Every structure is written in C-alpha cells, then in structure tokens.
Structure 1
C-alpha cells in the first residue's frame, strides 16, 4: 500500500527520500513524489505517475535540502495521475502533506469547510491539507491547525506535514495506518516501514493511534490526543539489510520461493527444543485451551493458510476452528461461542481489515493471538499474544514464504496444544522430524524449478483461463495456487472443490482449458481423478500434482513423501513456481503486479 518517508536535518534528504521510496516499492504503488525545503527555505516539488524510475528522471543534481517528505501512492480516491500524486500543497503554499489511509468523511469536510475551494485533483488528501490551511487562518499556529483538523477527521491515516512558517520540523500523526520515527545521528526520519530507512538507522520509536509528533533534527516530542506528553523508549529493528536485497536473483518472488526450506528449518529451531518438545509459551497455551472455539481471521493468502491451519489444529488439538475473511467478519460477525479465542494471520501485521476486527475483539474482552512476520506491528502490539513467522522480509507482492510459514507455525501451535491436552495424535507426531522432511521435500522441488518453466509454457502461455481443483486440504491449496496465477500472470484462474465441478462450473470447460488437479489425500484421491477424467473428456488439458504415495503413471508432478497432514506445505511449491514462470513468460512485472499492494492498510 502507500508508503511514506520523511527526513529532517540531513543535507542528503533528497537521496534519503528517493532511496527510501525505492525500498517501499514492494508495497505496491502507481505514482510517487517528493517535496524538499532548501537551506534558503525555497521549495522543490517533484512528482510522477508510474515508477520511482520515472520520478528520478525529473530530479536534478541541484535538488537538495535537509528537510523533506516523500510518498508512493496506491490510488484509492482518484485515478493514478501526477495531479493526484502526493505530496499535496495547500493553495496558500504554507502546508505540504503526504498521507496513507482513507478519510471516511472527506465529502462532509469539503462541504462544511471548503465549499468554495477549487481542487486540482480528486484525492481526500488534498481536502485535508486545505482543511489545515483553513484552521491555520483562524489560529495562526501550524501545530494547532493540524490538531484541529485531526479532531474532525474520521478514517485511517498516517500524516507527515511540513509547515513553511516552521520548515525545520515535521508534524506527524497516525490512526490505523503504520508510521515510525527513526533516530539518526544529528537528524531524524519518519517512515511507514522500517525497511525504507535501514541505511540511515536501526533505532525506531513507535507512534500509537491518536498521537501527534513534532519531529526536529534534535528532538522527538510525542503527545496524546489530550495533549499529554508521551515518553517512549526506542527499539532496535531486527532486520538484516541484506535480506531485502535480491542478490543473484532476478526477482524477489523466486528468491522467496527458494528461501522456504530455510524458513522451515528456522522455525524448527525457534519452536522446538533439542529434545523435540514444542517451545511455545505456557500461558498462551492455557489461554487457548480455556476457549471452546478458535476463530481464525485473515485475508487473501493468509485466509488460505487459515483453511489449512483449521484442519491441522482440529486433527492435532481437537479444538473446533472457524476460518473467516476479515473484511466480512468485521461487519457481519456471526454468533460467537461462549468462550471464543481469535487467531489473526497477517504477513505484515498491519492489515486494516483484520485490525478493525481486532479492535472489536478487544472491546469485547476476548483474548487473541497474532501470527505475523513483523514484530512490533499493529496487530502484534494490540493482540494478547504473538507468534512470529521468522520468515524474514517478504518483498514480492505475491506471498510465498509467509504462506508456508503461517501453516508451519500453526502446526507447531496445534501440536503443543494437543500434547498439553494429551491427544494421542499430537503426542505421536514428531513435529521437528516431520518438518525436517518438509524442508527436504521443498528443497527437492525447488531444485527442479526449470521443469515448471516448461509446464507453465506448455499449459498456460496461450490461455486466458485456468482452473485448479482438489478436495479437503487440496481444495485450500487450489485456492492459493489459483490466486498466485491470477495475481502475477493476469490469467483468469479459479480454485474449486473438485466435487463441485459438475454442479455448474464444468460448463466453463472448453477445448484446451488448463485444469490442474491436486491429489494428496488417500480418502478422496480416486474421486478427484474421476473429476479430472470428466473435464478431460470435455477437452480440458489436465495437469496432475500427486503425493508420491498416491501417484499413478503419467502424473505430471509427483511430490516428495511427507506426513499426510503436511502435504499442503509441499504441494503449494509447484503452484508458486508455475505462477512465477507464467508471469515471466508473459513479460510482466513479477514482483509488482498491477493494481496490487503488499501491505493492505485500508479497509
């Protein structure tokens, strides 16, 4: 989603802003811009539709200053254009603003305070910067005007504001959207993601919802909505800067697919002891076991991981589990059980749809767990407990290693719960050993990646539609495989429960339609093969992905042998690679597909 970088007190501000925005490209965007204040208090604005590379073409060597703000925009209000790109300047020229999030009452604000104003673009942000200007005309004080605007604004936001009457400072505020302060040596920065400024600092200060910040090169002043000063200790970002580089890879997505075996091994070390016991906090386990039902809440790929996690938890821990889409659950919450416990899955820990559910959960007084890749993220801070994915930064928009690590972490959790309950299936399940086999199986599949280049070219290159089918856990993986293909290759792909084809979907099968079938479950293997024969008889070109134990002669992809409960962790790897090569063969931007964002911070 949108990205913010700001700096105060550093002569290299222009370079810091541009480099920071480049580090945020993975989040998804359609335009970018920077605003600089020079030593002579002159201003420089550069904006461009498209990529950071297009913005850099508009910069010159003389574009310098020690205070500035930059932004990558993912369109929510108004089309992608230079006029709608941030930063936005008030008509008086006094205030310049960048904004992540969505202002829900922007139309009401325009009618009440700005009915006579003429706007250059179509963004809610332009309304906010003009609103601040209106309040400044009344009070004369920039900070007071900023606070007055915050008092009437409704919605999600991270703001970074420059007031040209005091251009040696940045004014910051946030609600629901991430924003951090970075502490430099003789200067300070702000960013929506720590990765943007790791080259400048590793020491950060969190900003909580509702707080306001005055940031100068020498000081950080934080106050809450009531004007009380807040003192908060900095933390050190535990991110290896080399993790966010592509190294020898052409694309982050391929790098992250290849990293999955190492992530699984890292999780074995993080969540098991030398003796093979599961290493998870006892109080967390007790809180979960005090519940009568688990509610997994997630979006997109994380929701697909939740569908797999449900089966694993119910098998090993014998606790009933429901899996819900965050965007639906938040506004259509079902009747809950008497003692619910909530598990939130989010790669970034900033997913807005999930956070609005967590806010409700906290108001109701229920315990919750966030499983995330980002320690200190909003969902991590606001949930009762956190389990980390230990996957390292995931840069490609299409999630791969975060998906498999979410399933793996839920497996460690399920095993620990089951052992604590004395469930025999869990007690007999040597999770470290079985996960080791998974890592080895992933290694084997990844070593054969060029085979998937051939399969993708043969089955997908000249087709606009594809179907993925399976039953049980295979259906959950089919959903994820289809999502990967449509996300980055723009092929219309759908995942279906194999048994449902004959209830309508089979009407879509045409001569040559690719249909990928997953067969990893003994109980349903024959049924799925029957469904593949049904579509083949109607002209489909079938691709069979089968577990080694269930494979038949002629199957296209045979998976290495792993525990039946963990086959989803290996069956998804070929689907990730097929999607990768399908995108590559079409000449598309694998890591940054159109219209998509990595961290979805608006509902």
Structure 2
C-alpha cells in the first residue's frame, strides 16, 4: 500500500511518475520510489519520507522510458529504503510495485525462495522474486507472471517491468484498485485516475482476476482463463470548478474514501517514529489533575463524544460526561471540583458550543478544542487545541471528521492513561491498532457496489428505518441514523437495542428496515435476540457483524479490529448506505436541504 503510478513509452516518464505520486499523497504514505528502464539501462530510487525528497534524489536521472512509481504505507516491515517500492529481484531483471496484502507470503518464501536472502521485510519483495523464480524455469515473462498469480493469495494491485523487454508493463489486480490511462503515443497505469489526469482523460477499468500487458500503443486484457477481453475506455469529465472533488461525483464519497489515509496521517501527527506521543505535555498534565472530564458537542460531534467517553474512561479511569452543547449552554450541570472540558467541533465555529465555552472561560476552567480548522473561534478561545488533520471536509454530512474526532480522543486517552500509570493504556499499541483500522476501512470503501445494492433493496422505498446496537454499537447507531436522515430524508432513529421492547417496538410493522450492529461478543447475543423480536413483527433486518461474531445470514461482515476502535469500522457501511440511499433518490448528497456545514447560529 498505498499508491501506484506507471508509464510506458513516454519521453517524460520521470516527471509523469513524480506528478502522479504527488497526486496520490492524499492516501497517506511513509516512503516513495520510482524505477525507469530504457534501452537496457535502468535505475531504481526510493527513500523513506515524502515525494519531494524522492524528487530531489532523481533530479539528474534519465527521464525517458518505461517506469513505475509507488507511495507506501508500512504494513510488512518498517518504513525503510529496503522496504520501499519498487522492489527489484536479486537478478536485477524484474521490478515490481504492489498494493494490498499477500496472505500466504510465508508459504511462498518457504516453497520457492529458501535459497534467497531478501533485502527487506515486505510481502511484495517475495512476489517479484517468485516471478523471477518461474522465469528461470524457462517460462516467458507473461507465463511466469501468470504462474505467480496462481500461487498468490490475498489482495493486490501489481505492476511489473521486465528490463530485458521494457517496452511493456505487466499488470494484475484483485480487490485493490487499478486503472489504465490511454494517452497519445504512450499509456499509463494508476491506483486512481487523479494520478494520471494531467496526461489523459481516457481510462479503462481493470477487473479482479484480470492480467494486462500494457505497451505504448496497445493494451491486451486477459481474463482468468487467459481469454482476451475487449473493453472500451471511458472519458472522465471534470468541471474546472470541481477540481478539488477530482473524479468523484460528490464530496461526501471522496471524504468517505479518504478516511483510511486520515488514520495514517493522524498516526504520523500524534506518534513519533520512536512511538512516543506528541500530545502536548501541558494538556496531559492539566487533564491528569482533573476529577471529571466533560465532553461537549453537537450532532455528529456529540456522537463522537459518546465513543470518546468509553475510550477515556477505559484508559484513564477518570469519569466522563458527554453533553449536548445546545442544552448545556442553558442548563449547566453541577460541576465537579476539578473539571476539564473537551469541545468537539469540525468547523471550530459552532455557535452552541461556543456559548458553553464562553461560560467556561468566565469560570476560568481549563478547556481543549478538538477541531479540523486551525485558528477557528473555538480553537482561539479554548485553553488548548488539538487538530483533526482530516483535510477539508466539504460535504455537509460529516464522515471523516467523525472518525478523526474519535481517533484523536483515542490518542489523548492513551497519553493521559500512561501519565496516570494505567496498565490498559500502556498495553494498547495504538499505531498497530489504527494501522489495522486503516486497512479495514480501505477494504470496506473498495466494496461500494455491495453497499449500493444493499441500499437499493433495503432502503429504496421506505419512509423510516431503525438502527440498533448495544454499548459502542449503540453510539454508532445514533450516527448511522443521523447520516441517513441528513441526506436521504428517511425518518431514521438510533436505539439501544434492548430499549426497543420498552415502547418503540410498537412502530415496527411489515417491511420496516432495522439495521443492527454487532461488534461485541458479550452483548452481541442479546442484540441477536432483539433482531428476532423485530423480525417476528415483520421487520426487514440488515445485520452488520464483526468477523468472528458473524452468522451466515448477515449482510455485512467487517474485518476484525480491537474492541475499543470498532466504531471506526462499523460506521463505514452506515456512511455508504446513507450515501447511496440519497443518490438513489436523486437528492443533493453534498448539500441536503435546510442544513449548513458550519452551524454559526444557536
């Protein structure tokens, strides 16, 4: 992971690769590299760090030829030069870039590479060496590439160059995105169209299981049975006023897709390379002296606060209260002796929250604003600020700001818990767990067709819907229901699953959609019982379960993650269901009626 770009047949290959890698920076990465082969001469340059550093290293290198480039987010192995892509086989013949995860890399290594000492620790390097192994058995490059694909299990987008015939690039994909771009006299490949949009607006989709031989003037597509496939290109039409949106039809979809990259950005911002927290010491020290934490927010931010409460209490053992700003501004609760306030706000301009902050400041109480906008009003007026680092969020319905707020509170809870000597905080490997979350998010957002179909069959004709769950699943149910009602105008309500039978089940009738979340083993069985209760009264259920807790009839099975961070994963399907429900009603996804992005009035 995370980004691929390639060019064949251009005299300007180096610059095209570098420009493409810059376009892919939004995905999040910790190393970058390029390989160019031309007239039997070849170079590979790669480095930890940013694309700008790579650019300086290749300033005097050859520009023409066939090339591949990559931005990597470390999964197998640390972000070092050896682990960065492209990977060159020991023979020097083959170069390869790879996105995805090879599940059987250890078996491949033991079976085919027992006599080879690898340069790094990645599953990707094993792939290029397996191709080299088969080529040494007398197979042609395409046959060696195909044989490798037969042996590999997992997700991948692959681009391979054979330096003995660098007039073509060999491509394949399974689950990871990859597109071909058709230019005049040369062709390209990339993880998304934005990596190639400066060169062409003509693109060809690559389907799972297909192999492509790409040259400067031709593209051969082979299916799983090695049969040739013909496929027309499509033209990407981008309005000059919508360049920030890129090739996405809506900002909301773009922002949903950006969430894995935001997780990686937050790791880089809030954890040093040596694993130490970058949360300012003064924030942690001031919070450590408090006897109660008050989290204040509105709408989605309030929902994020409910999740943050669990994280803070679990890792710090300090009691936490979560309050609606619009209520607290007029009905201040009795405060503890040493309170500390956290304000959650995407824009930093939320009027209801500011009203509370003004009163807090009058009482000279310490506060922290967690916001996406540096220099915003709540940021300036609070004692401290932590940024979400989510990038601009344009769609009215918040998605990436929600998951960012939860993540920042997790970093905060861990730092505070460690300060207080809490063993749970010390034992939580936050970098590892959020890395797993990012990969899980990526797999979910790449499966959009599934959510479109579910929305069509489950929500297309309904006027109401219920979301249920227990514990953290209840908190996420509230957010899922809000997303649906915000942009599709379907009357949706989130409930603690066990509360349905205390009155609300009277609203269940034949065909009523009920979305149920199950991510906790202890409470999941009880939620299963609640699902049976509504189904027996005619409800149509859609169950979303964490891997290991699933049943055969469940509509969505989520990759397994640490129990404390399940909301970062369970919310993704709910965001996508809401998006497609709105889209299928031909509504304005990004600008729903009656709503504004920044609520600056009480």
**Which digits, 9 at most, give the CA deviation of each residue in 1:532-569, with x for residues without a partner?**
00000100000000110211121110111110100000
Corresponding residue of 1:411: 410
Following superposition of structure 1 onto structure 2, how do residues 323-402 of structure 1 map, counting pairs within 5 Å?
323-402=322-401
1:345/1:371 contact within 8 Å kept: yes
Pair 1:567 & 2:566 matched: yes
**Which digits, 9 at most, give the CA deviation of each residue in 1:490-548, with x for residues without a partner?**
00000000000000000000100000000001120000000000000100000000110
Q: Which moved more, 1:541-550 or 1:368-377?
A: 541-550
Q: Secondary structure at the match of 1:322?
A: strand
Q: Secondary structure at the match of 1:524?
A: helix
Corresponding residue of 1:545: 544
Following superposition of structure 1 onto structure 2, how do residues 421-436 of structure 1 map, counting pairs within 5 Å?
421-436=420-435
Corresponding residue of 2:585: 586
Alpha-carbon distance between aligned partners in 2 of 1:430 and 1:244, rounded to the nearest angstrom = 38
Corresponding residue of 1:169: none
Q: Secondary structure at the match of 1:345?
A: strand
Following superposition of structure 1 onto structure 2, how do residues 299-338 of structure 1 map, counting pairs within 5 Å?
299-338=298-337
Corresponding residue of 1:32: none
1:464/1:491 contact within 8 Å kept: yes
Corresponding residue of 1:438: 437
Corresponding residue of 2:465: 466
Corresponding residue of 1:194: none
Q: Secondary structure at the match of 1:583?
A: helix
TM-score, normalised with respect to structure 2: 0.60
Q: Which moved more, 1:415-424 or 1:401-410?
A: 415-424
1:243/1:392 contact within 8 Å kept: no
**Which digits, 9 at most, give the CA deviation of each residue in 1:320-350, with x for residues without a partner?**
1000000000100010000000000000000
Q: Secondary structure at the match of 1:434?
A: helix
Q: Secondary structure at the match of 2:344?
A: strand
Alpha-carbon distance between aligned partners in 2 of 1:577 and 1:270, rounded to the nearest angstrom = 27
Corresponding residue of 2:531: 532
Q: Secondary structure at the match of 2:386?
A: strand
Structure 1 outlier segments of 4+, above 6 Å: 241-244
**Which digits, 9 at most, give the CA deviation of each residue in 1:281-304, with x for residues without a partner?**
111100111110000000000000
Alpha-carbon distance between aligned partners in 1 of 2:515 and 2:314, rounded to the nearest angstrom = 27
Q: Evaluate the alpha carbon distance shift between residue 243 and residue 341 of structure 1 in structure 2; reply closer, same or farther with a 3 A threshold.
A: farther
1:485/1:579 contact within 8 Å kept: yes
Q: How many residues align?
A: 363
Q: Evaluate the alpha carbon distance shift between residue 270 and residue 243 of structure 1 in structure 2; reply closer, same or farther with a 3 A threshold.
A: farther
Corresponding residue of 2:265: 266
Aligned-residue offset at 1:317: 1.3
1:348/1:372 contact within 8 Å kept: yes
Alpha-carbon distance between aligned partners in 2 of 1:243 and 1:419, rounded to the nearest angstrom = 45
**Which digits, 9 at most, give the CA deviation of each residue in 1:425-471, with x for residues without a partner?**
01010001100000000000001111000000000001001000001
Corresponding residue of 2:157: none
Q: Evaluate the alpha carbon distance shift between residue 495 and residue 573 of structure 1 in structure 2; reply closer, same or farther with a 3 A threshold.
A: same
Q: Secondary structure at the match of 1:343?
A: strand
Query: Unmatched 5+ residue regions in structure 1?
Result: 1-240
Alpha-carbon distance between aligned partners in 2 of 1:282 and 1:470, rounded to the nearest angstrom = 37
Aligned-residue offset at 1:243: 10
Q: Evaluate the alpha carbon distance shift between residue 471 and residue 326 of structure 1 in structure 2; reply closer, same or farther with a 3 A threshold.
A: same
1:298/1:344 contact within 8 Å kept: yes
Alpha-carbon distance between aligned partners in 1 of 2:280 and 2:532, rounded to the nearest angstrom = 48
Query: Unmatched 5+ residue regions in structure 2?
Result: 1-239
**Which digits, 9 at most, give the CA deviation of each residue in 1:66-99, with x for residues without a partner?**
xxxxxxxxxxxxxxxxxxxxxxxxxxxxxxxxxx
Alpha-carbon distance between aligned partners in 2 of 1:243 and 1:500, rounded to the nearest angstrom = 45
Following superposition of structure 1 onto structure 2, how do residues 184-199 of structure 1 map, counting pairs within 5 Å?
none
Alpha-carbon distance between aligned partners in 1 of 2:419 and 2:296, rounded to the nearest angstrom = 24
Alpha-carbon distance between aligned partners in 2 of 1:243 and 1:570, rounded to the nearest angstrom = 29
1:244/1:395 contact within 8 Å kept: no
**Which digits, 9 at most, give the CA deviation of each residue in 1:464-492, with x for residues without a partner?**
01000001110000000000000000000
Q: Evaluate the alpha carbon distance shift between residue 497 and residue 244 of structure 1 in structure 2; reply closer, same or farther with a 3 A threshold.
A: farther
Pair 1:250 & 2:239 matched: no
1:309/1:411 contact within 8 Å kept: yes
Alpha-carbon distance between aligned partners in 1 of 2:507 and 2:489, rounded to the nearest angstrom = 18
Alpha-carbon distance between aligned partners in 2 of 1:459 and 1:361, rounded to the nearest angstrom = 45
Name the structure, 1 or 2, with higher relative contact order (CA <8 Å, separation 6+).
1
Q: Evaluate the alpha carbon distance shift between residue 412 and residue 557 of structure 1 in structure 2; reply closer, same or farther with a 3 A threshold.
A: same
1:373/1:402 contact within 8 Å kept: yes
Corresponding residue of 2:62: none
Alpha-carbon distance between aligned partners in 1 of 2:487 and 2:344, rounded to the nearest angstrom = 22
TM-score, normalised with respect to structure 1: 0.60
Q: Secondary structure at the match of 2:428?
A: coil
C-alpha root-mean-square deviation of aligned residues, in Å?
Answer: 1.2
Alpha-carbon distance between aligned partners in 1 of 2:516 and 2:304, rounded to the nearest angstrom = 19
**Which digits, 9 at most, give the CA deviation of each residue in 1:393-412, with x for residues without a partner?**
10000000000000000000
Following superposition of structure 1 onto structure 2, how do residues 45-444 of structure 1 map, counting pairs within 5 Å?
245-444=244-443
Q: Secondary structure at the match of 1:323?
A: strand
Following superposition of structure 1 onto structure 2, how do residues 441-456 of structure 1 map, counting pairs within 5 Å?
441-456=440-455
Corresponding residue of 1:479: 478
Alpha-carbon distance between aligned partners in 2 of 1:412 and 1:323, rounded to the nearest angstrom = 18
Q: Evaluate the alpha carbon distance shift between residue 254 and residue 563 of structure 1 in structure 2; reply closer, same or farther with a 3 A threshold.
A: same
Alpha-carbon distance between aligned partners in 2 of 1:467 and 1:474, rounded to the nearest angstrom = 13
Q: Secondary structure at the match of 2:364?
A: coil
Q: Secondary structure at the match of 1:277?
A: coil
Q: Evaluate the alpha carbon distance shift between residue 351 and residue 582 of structure 1 in structure 2; reply closer, same or farther with a 3 A threshold.
A: same
